[in-house]
Amino acid sequence: MAVAGLRALLALSAVALLAACGGSPADGEPAPSRLPQVVEVVLDEQGRPEPSLLAERQVLLRGNGEEPQTLDPHLAEGVPAANILRDLFEGLTTTAPDGRIIPGAAIHWDISRDGLTYTFYLDPAGRWSNGDPVTAADFVWSWQRVVDPSTGAAYARMLAPVVNAEAILSAERPPEDLGVTALNDTTFQVQLSSPTPYFLGLLTHPTTFPVHQASLETYGSAHVRPGNLVSNGAFVLDDWQVRSRIDVVRNPHFRLVDEVLIEQVTFFPFEDENTEFNRFRAGDLHWTYQVPSNQFRWLEQNMAEALHVSPWFGTYFFSFNLTREPFRDSVELRQALNLAIDREILTQRVTRFGEIPTFTLVPPGLPDYQPPEPEHAEWTQAEREARARELYARAGFSDSNPLVVELRYNTSENHRKIAVAVAAMWKQTLGVQTRLVNEEFRVFLQNRAQRRVTQVFRSGWIGDYQDAFTFLELFHSEHGRNDAGYNNPRFDRLLDQIASERIPSRRRNLMVEAERMLLADQVILPVFTYVTKRLVDPRLQGWQENVMDQHLSRHMFLVRERTVDVAPAETADDQENPTEDETES
């Protein structure tokens, strides 16, 4: 469908989207913004600034998206929870500000010549927040807990490369048979079933973090509450006010506590980007989790020093529930909805932050992997839409018998705008009647996992490590996050082959074949490759862009400032005089 064909239908949506930005600078007269100006900061050999340049209060205020479901690293899901867990806990490896993998709880390691044995040497100074030493036995017990089916760890398959993990996950062997051993208090050894090039990167994920066994056995599920949670990271949980804030304070027992300048971090859950944006402008946040799309031009002009937009190793997509009608047995219908989406309009007129339209699951940019583009990626949008109408009719739908479908997303203004535009495209091209369902994040995840009410739902994945397998393994029939219910034995066998293949070129070819199969089965509707988009206070030093978007508070500090006033943001009246092209958003 041509761009002009969407204008009439999307015009009303555009007005609604702009008018619905409650809490944005468009509403009322906000206090003047303060754009901090900082003196040049020179660091010593240890990466520390001159003490006189430091801000008096080292309290970091972070916007953090949705409220986490739990702070148990083996049960938590989603990026917001992972952000907090990387401050509270430390895995065997961790990341530098630029995203490089560096030693964590293990200060060094040996890898056998065949790539099957990893021996990690823990820092003898490692301590839990209650003063107990962090030992190799803690990692043995924690990893056994992850793969134990009774734990219900959503990302348990991350440990699938470890000897016997697959059999344990299938309840064929006990967790004690996992290929991990404590050679002594500070030496932890891992046996892999096959060489795993991304293994060290995998260890920065919270699923592989240790959990304090005595605390969990004493408090049960309450071990994650303030006062009960014992962690081994740079910070310890101080307070958790649900839907309001989570406070963590510097852990005096952390092995590198002398290098941590931040005294407290407060994470604020913001489901509304406009509220978060206003809090930043008022000086109540040092960084935002994201920013409202409709403020991009104003931000470029007025807050360029604070605005950071950079590539992110992730893909935004919609998933089909393959366990229920109408999608269970109709690949034609799924493909019709896929082809009816105009990704150029979505990224240029709705998201507007440099997102890259995509027809694949795995993002581009990996040095040793090229995602397989489907044939329709080379077609014009008009050709895609013509084919979509043919498939829609073949699936048994028409103007007199339209598809009626629910499209679910979690509470977020940006997600809502995308869903509104997608529904408009389906209506214009195919006549589909779409009901939008907005759910709080926890309910949204539960409904996705149960597959009882979902039909089409927002999805997305940020790679846990820089390898295509982190995306492909999501759709293994037994993966805890396979919310689409995809169950293809051929695909599962391909994943098993990938996991055991030692020759890089063969492994790459198998992954390409697996992704091509996934796309041919129309399991997902890819939309765009992510970028991170946030505001970062210039006073916050030690923060760097990186493709994995992992930012540990322990690397940061706040410096003194000078401030100047900046112009007020555009008002709603300013923005609701759009040109004809702008109404397409």
Q: Could you tell me the CATH number of the domain that includes residue 444?
A: 3.10.105.10
Q: What tens digit of pLDDT does each residue of 259-312 get?
A: 999 999 999 999 889 999 999 999 999 999 999 888 888 998 999 999 999 889
181's CB contacts (< 8 A; 6+ apart) are 140, 188, 189, 191
Which residue would you say has higher pLDDT here, 563 or 463? 463
Is residue 396 located within the same domain as residue 426? Answer: yes
Report the C-alpha gap between 384 and 344 in whole angstroms: 13
The pLDDT score that the predictor gives to residue 320 is: 98
- Confirm if 498 and 507 have CB atoms less than 8 A apart: yes
**What is the per-residue pLDDT for 42?**
67
Between 330-339, 411-420, 518-527, the lowest mean confidence (pLDDT) is in 411-420
What distance in Å separates the CA atoms of residue 63 and residue 551, rounded to the nearest whole number?
13
* In-domain check, residue 143: yes
The mean pLDDT of the chain is 89
Q: How confident is the model at residue 513 (pLDDT cuts 50, 70, 90)?
A: very high
In terms of DSSP H, where are the helices of 40-116? 79-88
Q: What pLDDT is stored for residue 30 in this prediction?
A: 40
**What is the model's pLDDT at position 502?**
78
Per the CB < 8 A criterion, the answer to whether 92 and 188 are in contact is yes
CA Rg value for the chain: 24
Is residue 198 in a domain? yes
Task: Identify the pLDDT of residue 13.
Answer: 38
Domain-located, residue 133? yes
Residues 361, 280 share a domain:
no
Segment 437-458 shows an average pLDDT of 96
How much is the pLDDT for 39?
57
The separation between the first and the last C-alpha atoms of the chain, rounded to the nearest angstrom, is 16
- The total domain count for the chain is 3
Q: What is the pLDDT of residues 168-184, one digit of tens each?
A: 999 999 999 999 999 99
Domain stop point among 204, 224, 244: 224
**Structural domain boundaries enclosing 264:** 34-66+230-303+538-584
Is the pLDDT higher at 500 or at 402? 402
Instruction: Give the residue-averaged pLDDT of 396-418.
Output: 96
Q: What three-state secondary structure class fits 189?
A: strand
In this prediction, residue 33 carries a pLDDT of: 57
- Asked if residue 219 and residue 348 are part of one domain, the reply reads no
Tell me the pLDDT tens digit for each residue of 5-57. 443 333 333 323 333 333 334 433 344 455 666 656 667 766 677 888 899 99
Output the CA torsion sign for 343, 349, 353, 354.
positive
pLDDT at 24 (0 to 100): 37
What's the confidence (pLDDT) of residue 463? 92
d(CA 532, CA 546): 10
CATH number assigned to the domain comprising residue 186: 3.90.76.10
Residue 111 DSSP code: E
Is 556 found in the same domain as 408?
Answer: no
Q: Are residues 322 and 471 in the same domain?
A: yes
- Asked if residue 520 belongs to a domain, the reply is yes
Domain boundary among 224, 251, 279: 224
**Least confident window among 107-111, 206-210, 256-260, 576-580:** 576-580
Single out the residue of 79, 81, 492 nearest to residue 313, CA to CA.
79
Alpha-carbon distance of 461 to 79, in angstroms, equals: 9
Which of 32-46, 64-78, 548-562 bottoms out in mean pLDDT, i.e. has the lowest? 32-46
Per-residue pLDDT for 231 more than 80? yes
Do 87 and 58 lie in one domain? The reply is: no
The predicted pLDDT at position 504 comes to 86
Pairing, β 404-410 against β 433-439 = parallel
| Across 496-519, average pLDDT | 92
Residues 485, 360 share a domain? yes
Q: Is residue 488 part of a domain?
A: yes
Q: How, if at all, do strands 245-250 and 404-410 pair?
A: unpaired
Tell me, yes or no, if the pTM score tops 0.85: no
Same domain, 206 and 287: no
- Under DSSP, is residue 351 helix (H, G, I), strand (E, B) or coil? helix
In a domain, 10, yes or no: no
In a domain, 210, yes or no: yes
pLDDT of residue 154: 87
3-state helix/strand/coil string of 467-532: CCHHHHHHHCCCCCCCCCCCCCHHHHHHHHHHHHCCCHHHHHHHHHHHHHHHHHCCCEEEEEEEEE
Cα–Cα distance measured from residue 78 to residue 65, given in angstroms and rounded to the nearest whole number: 10
Residue with tokens 């979509």: 388
Regarding whether 480 and 404 lie in a shared domain, the answer is: yes
Do both 321 and 459 map to the same domain? yes
Claim to verify: residue 397 and residue 497 sit in the same structural domain = yes
CA dihedral for 194, 495, 178, 81, sign (positive or negative): positive
The pLDDT > 90 percentage for the chain reads 79
Q: What is the pLDDT of residues 352-372, one digit of tens each?
A: 888 999 999 999 888 789 999
Cα 567-572-576 angle, rounded to 5 deg: 120
Q: What does the pLDDT average to over 110-125?
A: 96
**Looking at the structure, do residues 186 and 258 belong to the same domain, yes or no?**
no
Residue 561 sits in a domain of what CATH number?
Answer: 3.40.190.10
Q: Which of 158, 189, 224 is the last residue of a domain?
A: 224
DSSP 8-state secondary structure symbol assigned to residue 134: P
Domain annotation covers residue 1 = no
User: For residues 73 and 211, is the Cβ–Cβ distance under 8 A?
Assistant: yes
Residue 539, pLDDT above cutoff 50? yes
1 confidence band (pLDDT: 50, 70, 90):
very low
Candidates 245, 347, 296, 269; CA nearest to 534 is 296
pLDDT of residue 583: 23
On the 0-12 / 13-18 / 19+ scale of CB atoms within 10 A, 82 is buried
